Every structure is written in C-alpha cells, then in structure tokens.
Amino acid sequence: MTGTGTESNPFENALKQLRLACDAMGIDNDIYNYLKHPTRTVQVAIPIKMDDGHLEVFEGFRVLHSAARGPGKGGMRYSLAVNMDEVKALAMWMTWKTACVGIPYGGAKGGVRVDPRKLSVAELERLTRRFTANIINVIGPETDIPAPDMNTGPREMGWMMDTYSMQKGHVVHGVVTGKPVEIGGSLGRTQATGHGVAYIANEYAKRQGWNPAECTMVIQGFGNVGQYAALTARDFGYKILAVSDISGGYYKPEGLDVDEIFAYISDPAHRTLEGYENAQKITNEELLALECDILAPCALENQITDANAEKLRCKAMVEGANGPTTPIADEILQKRGIDVVPDILANAGGVTCSYFEWIQDRMALFWDLEQVNKELDKIMLRAFNGVYELVVEKKISYRMAAYFVAVKRVAKAIEMRGIYP
C-alpha cells in the first residue's frame, strides 16, 4: 500500500516531519538546513561470483545522517526495495530514535538491493563480505556501527565483524551489533525491538485506563519485530486478533494462538504463514481495517497512507516499523482522534539493546538476560514518560512530542559543539 505523489518517497516524508517539528518548536532555520542533509552518503558496486561461475553486480548503500551526539547507529537491510532515498530516510529516523530514548548515538542506515531468497548461503556470505570490505573506511566502533535489519540477522553480522576484523588485524567485536552471543552479541537483542513495541503499547494503554485482558491488538508484519511484539503483548494479556506477512493476513476473532503461529513460522519447512489453517486468511488491506484497540504496523514504511487512513478502525496505533505512516495519513488519523505512538519511540528497543551490546563489547563484560531486560524497560519507560508529559502539557500529538524531545537534543548538541571550522 503506497500513497500518492511524493508521499511514497520516504525521504520526502522524513523531511516533512522534520520541517513540522522545527516550525512547531521555533528551531532556527540554520539548524533545519543542517539537519536535513545527511553527513555522509556512500554508494558502492558489489561484484560477486555466483555459484555457477557468472558475475553479478549488486548496489550497496550506507548513510550517516548525524554524528552530533555520537557514532552513527543503524541497520543493514537486504531488499530489492533498497535505494538511496529509503536509506537516507531511515538514517534520519535513527537520529531521532536514538535522541528520543537518550542514548549517545547518531543515525545511520545501509543496505543492498538484492532478493536474498534467490542467493545461496555461500553467495550471501560473499555478498556480505565484499560489501563490508567496500565500506570498511566508513564503519567502525567509534564512527558508524551497523546492525541487523530486514532480511539480515546474527549470521550476517558475524560475517561483517569477521571481515572487518581480518582487515584490521585483530578482533573488533564492537564494529557491529546483533551478532551471535558466542562472538560478542548480547542476550535479549533478537527480541528487543518487538518487546519494546509491546512494552510501549502497554504503557500507552495504562495511561488510557485500559485493562490488557480486555484489549485487542492487530499486528501487520510477522517478521522479527512482529513476532516478538505478539509474544510480549500476549504475555501482558492482550488478545491478538490478526497478524500478517508476505503471504497475507491471518485473522481469528477469538484470538490467535500466538505460540502455535510462532512455531509454524519458525519451522524451516514453512518460513512464512502460507498454509496456516487455524485462522481465516484475509488481505493486508482487510487486516489494517479490522476493528481493534491497538494496531501495530510492524512491516515496511508507507503502509498507512491517504488511501487507507480513513478506513482504520483502531483506537490507537503503535508503530513497530520505521516510517509506516505518511504525513498526510498522520493528519487524517489525528483529525479522527486516533493516537499514533511513533516509530522513533515505539520501536527503539532494538537500538537500545544494540547500545547495551556495544557497551558490553567495549567493557568485555557481559550481562545476563535479566539485567538486559531491566535496563531496556527502564530506558523505554523513561522515554515514554518524557513524551507523554509533553503530550499532556502542550496538548500535542505523540509524534510531535517525540520529535520535540529528539530534535531539541540533537539541535542542542550542534549548538554546543559548534560548526567546524
């Protein structure tokens, strides 16, 4: 589902959000001009010998939006939809996300335009290693730290860490996060983003006086984020009415068996929800329009647009994906009285746990899962409370309040550091 005109361009949407926030806050236009430009953009060719011996050349991207508050931080995604504007938007949103939760990072993002399902494991490894080698001078534990994103995971991060370490001549654990635990990864990282989405949704529900046992939730997207959002929300007591993935939506008015559906998609024989029979199959459009208390879009950007915002029947929306709601759709939902808890707050659990991994790598001292989750919940709660206080005090939307917090922190860092030279 996409919008119309420039509304489908994620970078244009990110710039509109920044402009709205700067105007509302009275931010100096010089700061806006500074922030609308990424600090660094890199595009590389990635030539790979395929298993049958022929050569394929893929395009790779890495963008550092801001380093005003610390090294860049952001995922690496493998998708045919990857392009420079998407990566620039995602990097900008990462700047706001890290600032919103108060961790000392800037925003970055990267990716390769490829359909990873069509590559063998050996081809994926060669692709990842060559991409890492091609951007080795712009990433590092003090400058720009990649992490998993769409269609990447601990395996790819392990390959990236190893390639970087081989070039440097010594092991550099902190060059990436989201690694396997055996080579410097953190416990809790895999589930952190989805856990954070459900945690923030529950905090929102508390402020509304809702009882989780009486609340329903619909989750669009059942990748890593959607899966763990569903599991955590279920543990809080929410009834999960529907989920979806690339194969379609799956709806059960009595509530899905989350453990069963998680086991189904985790089975290597399935990998998607195609063929799952213990629910009614519906379209993505039908799923988004289901009546529910909380809708959690956890798939891709540009899912809630001017074309479908009027059809939503949720009481509130908590964004698990990056940029799932276009600015025009945001206005429509606001007029309809539907609160939207934005991505830069709601899905910040992943980057927060990545921060914990980076700390542990630098200390060479690792935490148990209980400590990871305790620290994660503490930071997410502090961030939510700060945003909620602004919502109440200034009578503004959750998105605007989150941007107030984030942009103010980045602008203050720029002001205090000054402009070199």
Q: Is the fold of 40-172 the same as that of 191-299?
A: yes
CA angle 402, 407, 411 (to 5 degrees): 160
Spell out the CATH class of 191-299: alpha beta
Q: What local confidence, expressed as pLDDT, does residue 421 receive?
A: 87
User: What number is the average pLDDT over the span 311-335?
Assistant: 96
Q: Confidence class of residue 5 from pLDDT cuts 50, 70 and 90?
A: very low
CA angle 104, 106, 107 (to 5 degrees): 140
* Percent of the chain whose predicted confidence (pLDDT) is above 90: 94
Q: What local confidence, expressed as pLDDT, does residue 363 receive?
A: 95
CA distance 144 to 97: 15
**Rg from Cα positions in the chain:** 20
Reported in sequence order, the residue ranges of 275-354 that DSSP labels E, i.e. its strands, are 280-282, 291-297, 313-318, 339-341
Spell out the CATH class of 40-172: alpha beta
Q: What local confidence, expressed as pLDDT, does residue 1 receive?
A: 46
Q: What local confidence, expressed as pLDDT, does residue 180 receive?
A: 97
Is the pLDDT at 156 greater than 60, yes or no? yes
Active-site residue flag, 109: yes
| Cα torsion 63, 89, 105, 170: sign | negative
Cβ contact 158:175 at 8 Å: no
CA distance 216 to 313: 12
Q: What local confidence, expressed as pLDDT, does residue 2 receive?
A: 45
Is the pLDDT at 413 greater than 50, yes or no? yes
Domain ranges of the chain: 40-172, 191-299
Q: What local confidence, expressed as pLDDT, does residue 339 receive?
A: 98
Is the pLDDT at 223 greater than 60, yes or no? yes
Express each pLDDT in 361-409 by its tens digit. Answer: 999 999 999 999 999 999 999 999 999 999 999 999 999 999 999 999 9
User: What number is the average pLDDT over the span 288-309?
Assistant: 95
Is the pLDDT at 4 greater than 50, yes or no? no
- The catalytic position among 73, 97, 109, 179 is 109
User: What number is the average pLDDT over the span 50-56?
Assistant: 97
**Average pLDDT along the chain:** 95
Cβ contact 320:230 at 8 Å: no
Is the pLDDT at 184 greater than 60, yes or no? yes
Q: Confidence class of residue 271 from pLDDT cuts 50, 70 and 90?
A: confident
User: What number is the average pLDDT over the span 35-56?
Assistant: 97
Express each pLDDT in 106-148 by its tens digit. Answer: 999 999 999 999 999 999 999 999 999 999 999 999 999 999 9
